Structure 1
């Protein structure tokens, strides 16, 4: 009898371990909570699963998806970036200012103004990424402190450029094409996001540089001993973060039709939350592009659902913070399951 009891206990223990491995390692908790959230909001609002609302969520999710992808690169390489919101604002302000100036000088050449503004905005993102990458890779400044300091500097710079007022005067074609335009029935911002998703997936999974990113984030010392120039990898990653974030800032500027100094203020928290919910490890070396896209969609789905059922903006901020804490807890549990499985 005792033997049968012990065998039953061992069987249940094995089943529990297999379940934990399936949920926390193979599948992850994200698909489960995504389905649960959809079911909950669908029962609370009949509009939640309507075609118009799903399309609206897709449009709104573009900017967070892009920034979350950038944040994933920083996290996988073993850091993080708290300056993504300020970098978006700087790209918005610089791009809008240059665009308006060129359009005022050459009113018959809106394409030239748009190209100049978008180029200037991307260059501002490169500058922010280079500053972060240089401090982190060359002077070993902790990413938290480096990007926090950069965020303050860049935010002050955007206020200095604009005086705290929005920037107007951009060509109308900019907003019509890059904010609300469509190609083959697909919104242009969504096309940008799809291109970035595919490009980053290929870089992270099918290139030597992508393998170096994961190796550097997983164990920088071991990567160096293997011949990987980790400082260069870190610097290049933060350049990528800066450029990708700037693209998000320019696309959002096109949607708003104005350059804003306070653009993307909530993006650092939301992008980190999307990544951690998607299983990107805060310790570096782990993260999948597809899961991060789902994480960003989940954040926007939750916000959209809360809007539909009448939950206020302040309460939504609380809910987002709770989700981030729970995601970090789930990430810690996942790490323990992985370690237990390896042992």
Structure 2
């Protein structure tokens, strides 16, 4: 009788436990930690400037816009929806805020503070109204989220171009740019501070409130949520309103950073916000996702773009890389859902 080598009996359990652990980590954490680690190591090795304090500060500052938009997009995706209009809302709010500010300053040049306050309020209100239109279309009229927000996106671009005649709106006062762009509060720039505050608010909303738990319930099973007594129409409406509001905040902050408003200013953020959510493990089927991971997903996209800029990767190659990462994340999302069930 031939007896197997003693070490062969140990190899199989060790290999099995290693693969089981890897699978368990993948199901719980997703692919983002691996992507983030590989990206950081690659650019740190190939570009000495990547880990410099100035570059890391720039990454933090630039990532704030995408983080805020992605958090709003997450609320919609949690309900099994999608908002393609957030990028257009950013440009539209910038145009509304800038145009209103210049008109108020033209009429009341000495009332700079009042003009800034009213114009910012007007811009935020514009974003909320667009979100409300999306919410009514999806929740009450039962229009497909994709088609509803696609129509809104197209209309907003046309409205913004009409308001500006296709030209950038300039002449933004320095007081506004200092207040929302380059000033310092508690040692941080206003966009970073605002992002931290909004992150805490969204985290509390999703993890410590009944309404936040309802977002997950609606996305997981709409009919079951209705039978449980949840006002699913209100939750859907609220998700799009909040997404519009957060996109409007980015529109104001982006205007303060660039000093000019254009209809197409926010276009890149639309798809990047979806990518940040998917890379962060938010399921496009709804009901699954954590705001912490969305923040990390937005940071990953910003770091990846920043690193490719530093090593002078052509813009069209960057688009290919981002598209490949998004596809990889979608495949990983399907595997996680399959292994979770």
Shift of 1:6: 8.5
Pairing partner for 1:102 from 97, 101, 104: 104
Looking at structure 1, the residues matched to 18 and 310 of structure 2 have their Cα atoms a distance apart, in angstroms, of 40
1:271 corresponds to: 273
1:166-186 CA-partner distances (Å, limit 9, x unpaired): 112332201122111111211
Looking at structure 2, the residues matched to 263 and 26 of structure 1 have their Cα atoms a distance apart, in angstroms, of 36
2:288 corresponds to: 286
Looking at structure 2, the residues matched to 107 and 234 of structure 1 have their Cα atoms a distance apart, in angstroms, of 42
Matched residue SS, 1:276: helix
Pairing partner for 1:208 from 195, 210, 227: 210
Q: How does 1:71-110 map to 2 (within 5 A)?
A: 71-110=73-112
Shift of 1:7: 8.6
1:156 corresponds to: 158
2:184 corresponds to: 182
Looking at structure 2, the residues matched to 331 and 204 of structure 1 have their Cα atoms a distance apart, in angstroms, of 21
Shift of 1:12: 3.6
Q: Does 1:19 align with 2:22?
A: yes
2:316 corresponds to: 314
2:201 corresponds to: 199
Looking at structure 1, the residues matched to 14 and 305 of structure 2 have their Cα atoms a distance apart, in angstroms, of 42
CA contact (8 A) 2:90 2:250 kept: yes
Shift of 1:103: 1.2
CA contact (8 A) 2:47 2:311 kept: yes
Q: How does 1:248-259 map to 2 (within 5 A)?
A: 248-259=250-261
Looking at structure 1, the residues matched to 9 and 74 of structure 2 have their Cα atoms a distance apart, in angstroms, of 45
Pairing partner for 1:303 from 302, 305, 311: 305
CA contact (8 A) 2:30 2:332 kept: no
CA contact (8 A) 1:128 1:242 kept: yes
Pairing partner for 2:142 from 140, 143, 147: 140
Count, aligned residues = 338
Looking at structure 2, the residues matched to 176 and 240 of structure 1 have their Cα atoms a distance apart, in angstroms, of 26
Q: CA RMSD of the aligned region, Å?
A: 1.6
Shift of 1:78: 1.1
Matched residue SS, 2:130: helix
Looking at structure 2, the residues matched to 48 and 141 of structure 1 have their Cα atoms a distance apart, in angstroms, of 45
Runs of 4+ in 1 over 4 A off after TM superposition: 4-11
TM-score relative to the length of structure 2: 0.96
Shift of 1:321: 0.9
1:338 corresponds to: 340
1:67 corresponds to: 69
1:72-111 CA-partner distances (Å, limit 9, x unpaired): 1111111011001101111000011111111111111111
Looking at structure 2, the residues matched to 6 and 333 of structure 1 have their Cα atoms a distance apart, in angstroms, of 30
Q: Which segment is superposed worse, 250-259 or 169-178?
A: 169-178
Looking at structure 1, the residues matched to 307 and 99 of structure 2 have their Cα atoms a distance apart, in angstroms, of 36
1:42 corresponds to: 44
2:238 corresponds to: 236
1:301-339 CA-partner distances (Å, limit 9, x unpaired): 001100111101111111111111111011111111111
Structure 2: gaps spanning 5 or more residues: none
Looking at structure 2, the residues matched to 60 and 83 of structure 1 have their Cα atoms a distance apart, in angstroms, of 21
CA contact (8 A) 1:89 1:249 kept: yes
